[in-house]
Amino acid sequence: MRKSFFAFCALALLTFTGCTQKPSMHPTDEPFRSVYHHTPEANWMNDPNGMFYDEAAGVWHLYYQHNPYATVWGPMHWAHSTSKDLIHWEHQGIVLYPDSLGTIFSGSAVIDKNNTAGFGENAIVAIYTQSEKIGQNQSIAYSTDGGYSFTPYEGNPVLMGDIADFRDPKVTWDGDHWLMTLACQQEIRFYASPNLKEWTYLSSFGKDLGAHGGVWECPELLKMSNVKSQISNEKYVLLVSINPGGPFGGSATQYFIGDWDGKEFVVESQKSKVESKWLDYGKDNYSSFTFHNSPDGRLVALGWMSNWQYACQLPTVAFRSQNTVARDLFLFLDDEGEYRLGSVPSKETMALKGAETKYLPDAGIVELTLDGSQDALITLSNDKGEKVVMNLDVHRRTFSMDRTASGDCSFSHDFAARTVAPLFIKRDTYKVLLFIDHCSIEAFDADGAWAMTNLVFPSEPYNHLDVQGGEAKIYNVNI
């Protein structure tokens, strides 16, 4: 009787907390726990939120969508991590909890240098969606201790939704006022505000443009001046995550290049109107955002390294999800004269490159030099015969990654996949960087023309590297 009562209590507790899995080991002991990618200490994580850089303290702040009760999506909170180098992260706990206005969905944060909102000079103001059963509205909260704790504004919500999907505000300073990009079903709306509290509708973007296979989420308008590869006339890029409808199934981040006149975003070229452009050509880089106030006018981005198709089924135990390495975004012209958004590993990420080694470490960096006149085949494998096969196809001008035999793919029929990136620029020699961690491979054209992020779950680390059609140098990670 007593035993069954305890069993009942345990079951009730599990049901109440929504827990579907019990951690069976210390969270840091898990074989798939990333060594140099940000992961939650325990339980569920999705989108990076509210990222900003505190220049005076030299600290990068990262908040994220978090369910503290289970390793699957559930009641969303904002949890907080900080880093001095974008490699080592300190967990700072939860800063925003669900309240009577709803759970805490994705959003952004700004440093209010001029005290426009009246919370104090240099207050950190978070702008986020509150989701409740009947709709989604935008709220704000402020921090006067540099982003370590937040107080929700008593006048919330500051922007009421008028349709079902009305979320993910990313706020930037646009000359003399605040500008918000907001995902509204399959369009992006722009709103302006003098004080972060009162918002005026400006315009909508996206009808009949780009990919529309799913709902649009997590938008951001990027001003592409004063960054790597300066291009003389100022352009803007609008990042829009989409789920489903990505090029390899499930979620992915598309982008549009155009002009911003203070009120409307207008796509620049005929090609941009018909073609969907993708930030990343793998399956696992979603809801990518840049850090507000990144140093030197850089656009430093992090994405959620997962895909809604299988994010809740990934074979980790005490935690779920990780973020990509930090990348700098910039514009370049491809061989056909079309502007493209490039991404290179940020200099903070490149600082990971440790000593050259002969042996493939379980977390390392590989630098490939591939001859542009012939195809190349790159195979990462382990003693169990699990492998990831990459191919540079110089005739089709593509780089591909096949993870169909990479290890555990059994948890979802959507996981086994081969992803393909266009090379965009013809080169005599292709330099490719591979960032390998315990459950991920991020491949980059070393000059940033394309990036490809894919998760992998080998039953033991890959310890062989075979390169046909080029050479490889292997580096330890320096942490």
User: Catalytic residue numbers?
Assistant: 47
Q: How far apart are the C-alpha atoms of 63 and 147, rounded to whole Å?
A: 10
**Angle formed at CA 123 by CA 122 and CA 129, multiple of 5 degrees:** 135
Between 137 and 406, name the residue whose CB sits nearer to ligand FRU. Answer: 137
Q: How far apart are the C-alpha atoms of 307 and 314, rounded to whole Å?
A: 10
Decide: 126 and 78 in contact? Cβ < 8 Å. Answer: yes
End-to-end CA distance of the chain: 53
**At closest approach, how far in Å is the CB of 36 from ligand FRU?**
23
Q: How far apart are the C-alpha atoms of 360 and 388, rounded to whole Å?
A: 14
Between 204 and 379, name the residue whose CB sits nearer to ligand FRU. Answer: 204
Distances in Å between the Cα of 180 and the Cα atoms of 263, 300, 316, 361, 363 are: 11, 19, 36, 44, 38
Peptide bond into 157 cis (omega under 30): yes
Chain Cα centroid distance, residue 449: 18
Decide: 59 and 145 in contact? Cβ < 8 Å. Answer: no
Residues forming beta bridges with residue 109, ordered by sequence position: 126
Decide: 168 and 182 in contact? Cβ < 8 Å. Answer: yes
Binding stretches for ligand FRU (CB under 6 A): 46-47, 65, 76, 105-106, 129, 167-168, 217-218, 287
Between 106 and 322, name the residue whose CB sits nearer to ligand FRU. Answer: 106
**At closest approach, how far in Å is the CB of 313 from ligand FRU?**
16
Between 59 and 94, name the residue whose CB sits nearer to ligand FRU. Answer: 94
**At closest approach, how far in Å is the CB of 70 from ligand FRU?**
13
**At closest approach, how far in Å is the CB of 457 from ligand FRU?**
21
**At closest approach, how far in Å is the CB of 287 from ligand FRU?**
5
**At closest approach, how far in Å is the CB of 470 from ligand FRU?**
37
Q: How far apart are the C-alpha atoms of 417 and 403, rounded to whole Å?
A: 6
**At closest approach, how far in Å is the CB of 35 from ligand FRU?**
25
**At closest approach, how far in Å is the CB of 326 from ligand FRU?**
19
Between 314 and 394, name the residue whose CB sits nearer to ligand FRU. Answer: 314
